[in-house]
Each structure stands twice: as C-alpha cells, then as structure tokens.
Chain A
C-alpha cells in the first residue's frame, strides 16, 4: 500500500481504459478511480483515472500494461480532482 496521499489525474483515451487502469492500480495497492474528465482536451469528451500515491510509478505501471494515457495533472494533499 502506498502511503503518499497526493492525487494525480491521468487523462485516458476512453472509459474502458480508465476502468482497466483502475483495476490494475488497485491490484498494486493503489486507491484509484475512474471519472469524467471535466477539463476535456480539444479532441472532445474524455475520462480520467485518478490515483492516490506515487504518480510516476503508477504512470509507469499503466504504460507497461498498455493503458493509453493522454496527459496527467497532479494535486497535493489528498484532495480529489
């Protein structure tokens, strides 16, 4: 379990990838959740995967498992995005 309480939201290409990413990160002890991306890119509607903890490691895990990420945005102190 990761004790880092920072949250990072990764923009993902689809809700399917967000949910797959959530499952993956949960298997590795992260708290993660899929939600609507309220700041969509110019490409249009999208979803995001928010994770609590080490964002760099989480990102690497996601990429290693073929989760397509668009971008990531971090916030500190455990606040949700």
Chain B
C-alpha cells in the first residue's frame, strides 16, 4: 500500500515508537503519579520523559505539557476553559471543525459570540482581517497554523503579536504543523498550543497535548483524581494536574515520547524540507496530467504544508479515492471535517481528494501515484468501466 493520508494520522510509525509502546505494555504497567511503589515511580519517570521531550521541542517547561487524548480535546479544553459568558472569539475561515464546532456550539448556547476572519495571500492583510473584527469583549483568537484541506500556512506569529498588543489571548491549532514547522514558544506569541500526538509527532492514536504557555490556566473540562491534594474538593491550581484528571494513556504517551524523540533527531526543518521536495515533484507531475484540477498552490516552503487537494474531471472526490484504493493507494476524500475551508474555496459540493505526505513516503510512491491517476483518467475518457 502507498499511504498518502498522513494528515489524518501518520503511518507507519517509527520502529522506536512501536518498541516504546510494546515495552510500556510489558514493563511499565503501573499507574503513574498515583502510588509510591517502584513500578509506579518508574512509569511516572517515563511519562515525565515525554513531557521533557515535548518541552524541549516546543520551548516550554515540562509541567506546561498537558496530555490529552487528541488535538480536538486540547482545543475543547482550552476554549471552553477560558471563555466566559459575554466573551467574543475570532477564528479563521480555514478552521477545522475542532475549532469551528466548539465556538459555534458555545454561541448557540448563548455563552459567546464569534466572528470569522478571512485568511488571504498577504500576511499583513490577514492580520488586519483579524484585527478589524476585535471588539471590546474579544477574549480569544483561535486559529489554525495550517489548513488540513488545502495546506495553506497561516501567519499565527503575526496574528498572535497583534492579539497580545490588544490584550487578547492566542490559541493555535497546530494539528498539521507540529513536528514540521518550527514552533518555539519562547519566541512565538502563543498562549495555548494544541497538538495531536499521532500526526507529525509520530505517536500512537489516542494521544494529544495542550501546552499552556500563558495565564490564565483554563478551567478543567473534566474533574477527577490527579494523585495530588486528594483531600480537597477542588482541582489543584497547578499544571499539569489541573487539566489531567484520571489515569493517563500510559503506553500511548510513552510511545509519543519516542515519536517526539524521532522528530527531534530528524529535526522538523529536515522533515519539512524532505516532504515539501517530494510534494513539489508530485504537484508538478499531477499538474501535467490532463483532467487533474488542483486546489492547492504549488508547494512553497513557509507558505504551504506537504499536502495537495485535487479533483479528477468527471469523477467525484469519493469515487476518485475509492478508485485509488483499488490501486493500493490510501488518500482521503470528502470534506475533511473542515466545512469553513471548503466553503471558502468553493469545494463545498463535491469536496476534494487530499494527498498528504509523511516522513516515510518516497519518490517511487509519488511517481506510482501519478501513474495511477493518469490511468484512471485514461480509462474514464475511454469510457471503460472503472
């Protein structure tokens, strides 16, 4: 199989991740941060090791790293834990439903109001599009760093700087960028960074991170046991305990730690460069095939992510993905849980097909993909049953 669905989840996982999970299940079986016996402390050290690795990658302290089950939970925790009745929130028109549905639900419940800022080619204009929507009660800007559908990068650093000048909190959804783009919280004006563990950080599914890089600490989405101050009715007021109730996904987090180590060894810069180089080759070869309609720009470092949105003439996106599956190629079709992005680009009727690359994809796979696309279109034109 050729796996080009890395924006959904990266696959395969590095061998060190597989080994890490296996070792965790075999040898680190105790509940970390609950008991005092050796196995519990040993397991807790492994969990802490993952916090350290994430902190080193993103430029923060280990206790700022809160483990969640995915990026969606990180976003929900931050947004719902921060906003108060009467607040106003601004999001971008490229948001995933993980942001869009959260603010829309809060709006329908009468808790907040929100506006959607347009992302355009010019960064300064994009920042202005956010700034002119600010109201006296705007509390938060929640913005993706890169579109999961079209691969456009959003200048979250510039938007965050503007937000901080105006006293507004900045949340970034780094679902598609963590592990690829340089995200250093010592220099970037980001208060809440939401990350999936299972995409560009190469951890197992069921892992995510929320990095709380500013004040206030969001109220918990979920209360319960933390292994600390157990006789008190209220959740602890310190991180990560305040936002981490219940037993964590021990083997998943230990695997995630190994995934982050993999990224740190390869470096996000080198992973990004390599995937973008492959993506450019794919883009150029696809654009030379008659009948391919491309919805992404030619991949440019700093402007785009290594993914391409396209359709094939005369075929729906789902049909195209099913045909590619017959060739042993895994891509994602449809709307990618991103209603706003598809409306923006006018692809809200048929959706698009998305090719998204990862660390283990090769030039041979890219070329085989283009041959399969050309073959599908040729058969379509010749009226052969496909």
Q: Interface on A for B, CB 8 Å cutoff?
A: 13-17, 19-20, 23, 34-36, 38, 42-47, 66, 68
Distance, CA A14 to CA B238, complexed state (A): 9
**B44 contacts A44, C-beta separation under 8 Å:** no
Task: Name the contact of A36 in the complex, choosing from B35, B62, B226 (C-beta under 8 A).
Answer: B35
| Given A16-B48, A43-B230, 6 further pairs, Cβ under 8 A | A14-B241, A15-B44, A20-B48, A20-B63, A44-B230, A45-B230
Task: Enumerate chain B residues within 8 angstroms of A46, measured Cβ to Cβ.
Answer: 228-229
Contact of B228 (CB < 8 Å), options: A35, A38, A45, A66: A45
Residues of B within 8 A of A16 (CB): 33, 48, 51, 62-63, 239-241
A15-B32, A16-B240, A38-B36 known; A44+B48 contact, CB < 8 A:
no
Task: Mark interface residues in B29-45 (1 if CB within 8 Å of A CB, else 0).
Answer: 00011011000010011
Determine the main DSSP class of A at the interface with B: mixed
Select from chain A the residue with minimum beta-carbon distance to B231: A44
Q: Judging by beta carbons under 8 Å apart, are A45 and B44 in contact?
A: no
Min CB distance B254 to A, Å, is 14
A selection of 22 A-B contacts at a CB cut-off of 8 Å is A13-B229, A13-B236, A13-B238, A13-B241, A14-B63, A14-B227, A14-B240, A15-B228, A16-B33, A16-B51, A16-B240, A19-B45, A19-B48, A20-B61, A20-B63, A36-B36, A44-B228, A45-B228, A46-B228, A46-B229, A47-B36, A47-B228
Query: Does B52 lie at the interface of the complex (its beta carbon under 8 Å from any beta carbon of A)?
Result: yes
CB of A34 within 8 A of CB of B41, answer yes
- Indicate with 1 or 0, residue by residue over B231-261, a CB within 8 angstroms of chain A CB atoms: 1100010111100000000000000000000
Residues of the B chain whose Cβ atoms lie less than 8 Å from the Cβ of A34? 41, 44
Q: Nearest A residue to B227 by beta-carbon distance?
A: A45
Most buried by A among B35, B44, B240: B44
* Size of B's binding interface in residues, CB under 8 A: 25
In the complex, the answer to whether B62 meets A20 with C-beta atoms within 8 Å is: yes
Contact A42 B45 (CB under 8 A): no
- Whether A42 contacts B231 by the Cβ 8 Å rule is yes
Closest to B45 in A: A19
Chain A residues with Cβ under 8 A from B228's Cβ? 13-15, 44-47
Chain A residues with CB below 8 A from B236, complex form: 13-14
- Bound CA–CA A34/B228 (angstroms): 14
Q: Which residues of A contact B35 (CB under 8 A)?
A: 36
Shortest CB–CB separation between residue B272 and chain A, in angstroms? 30
What chain A residues lie within 8 Å of B240 (beta carbons)? Answer: 14, 16
**Contact in complex: A45, B229 (CB < 8 Å):** yes
- A17 to B64: give the CA distance in the assembly, Å: 11
The one of A15, A35, A38 that contacts B227, using a Cβ cutoff of 8 Å: A15
Q: Assess whether A23 is in contact with B52, with CB atoms less than 8 Å apart.
A: yes
A3 to B238, CA, bound (A): 34
- A47 surroundings in chain B (CB, below 8 A): 36, 228
The answer to whether B63 touches A44 (Cβ under 8 A) is: no
Task: List residues of chain A with CB within 8 A of the CB of B227.
Answer: 14-15, 45
Query: B63 — nearest CB in chain A belongs to which residue?
Result: A16
Q: How far is the CA of A44 from the CA of B227 in the complex (A)?
A: 9
From residue A40, how far is it (CB to closest CB) to chain B in Å? 8
A14 to B48, CA, bound (A): 12
- In order of increasing CB-CB distance, the 5 nearest A-B pairs are A36-B36, A44-B230, A44-B231, A19-B48, A45-B230
CA distance A38 to B61 in the complex (A): 27
Q: Shortest distance in angstroms between B36's beta carbon and chain A's nearest beta carbon? A: 2
